[in-house]
Structure 1
Amino acid sequence: MPRLRHFAIVVRDLDRMTEFYKSVFGLEFIDSETIGTGTANYLSDGVVNLALLHFSDKSEEELDRMAGLNHFGIQVDDVAEYEKRVEAAGGRFFFELTGSKKGNAERKYKDPEGVVFDISAHGWVGTDGRIEPSE
């Protein structure tokens, strides 16, 4: 059964927003990771991973436009099977994020209206269905 396990939002002030979600909702800080031209802080309630993304190569104006929901992720048992389902329903492959130090690699897709989502077999750090990647 597919499971929603990941939400990613772009933030302007990574430290402030990390403290906000920790203090307001009691989310646990799991880890931090360099991602391309920015940083991701991972928080969790033990079931869902919330990635706070800050892109250091963006101007304040660009971050203002980007701030908010960036994508969400669904953990499945068979990525290839769900890719077929996505394409049959009008979605399409977007790109693959690989090489993550924490094993948060996933395949990204767009639904028929262009909304980005991830499909992952291993899940995300701090989630209840996480399967640790082998080294």
Structure 2
Amino acid sequence: MARLRHFAISVKDVEKSAEFYEKTFGLKRVGRDDIEELGSGIYLTDGVINLALLQLKDPNARMGVHHFGFQIDDADATAKKIEENGGKFFFNLGDAKEGNFESKYKDPEGVVFDISEHGWLGTDSYKASA
């Protein structure tokens, strides 16, 4: 069974957005990534779901929902099911040995989603290392 545990939102100002969600909804900041070629991300949580706020370098990136992620039990079996049903592998992100690792796919319509055996920072079932 897959568990929805991750949403990503593309924003113009990652710090301002993080402060909004922290102050308004009481979300807790659990991490940050700055990836030179992609942009910056701040990770917030309510203890169950990881909300990634992404400030992308791509000038054509649209604002709003960017992607979502499912925590799954078996990455290889799930990858096979994804491809059997018309989905396509996109790329891997993160380090499987350090946790917070995900494989990105596109569904048949081109919508990006992630799968992860170990989950995301701040989620109720996150496993710190692979």
TM over 0.5: yes
Q: Which runs of 5 or more residues in structure 2 are unaligned?
A: none
TM-align CA RMSD: 1.8
* Higher fraction of strand: 2
User: Does the alignment pair 1:103 with 2:99?
Assistant: yes
| Structure-1 residue corresponding to 2:85 | 89
Tell me the TM-score normalised to structure 1 length. 0.87
For 1:6-60, what per-residue CA distance to the aligned partner results, in whole angstroms no more than 9, with x for missing partners?
11111101111001111221111112122243211000000000001112x444x
| Structure-2 residue corresponding to 1:41 | 42
Moved >4 Å (runs of 4+):
none
| Structure 1 residue 100: Cα displacement | 7.8
Question: Aligned pair in 2 of structure 1 residues 100, 86: CA closer, same or farther (>3 Å)?
Answer: closer
SS of the residue corresponding to residue 127 of structure 2 reads: coil
- Counterpart CA distance in 2 for 1:85 and 1:10 is 28
SS of the residue corresponding to residue 17 of structure 1 reads: helix
* Higher fraction of helix: 1
Q: Which runs of 5 or more residues in structure 1 are unaligned?
A: none
Tell me the TM-score normalised to structure 2 length. 0.90
- Counterpart CA distance in 2 for 1:76 and 1:30 is 21
- Paired amino acid for 1:9: I
| Identity, % of aligned positions | 51
For 1:47-94, what per-residue CA distance to the aligned partner results, in whole angstroms no more than 9, with x for missing partners?
000001112x444xx3xx421111101000100111111111111111
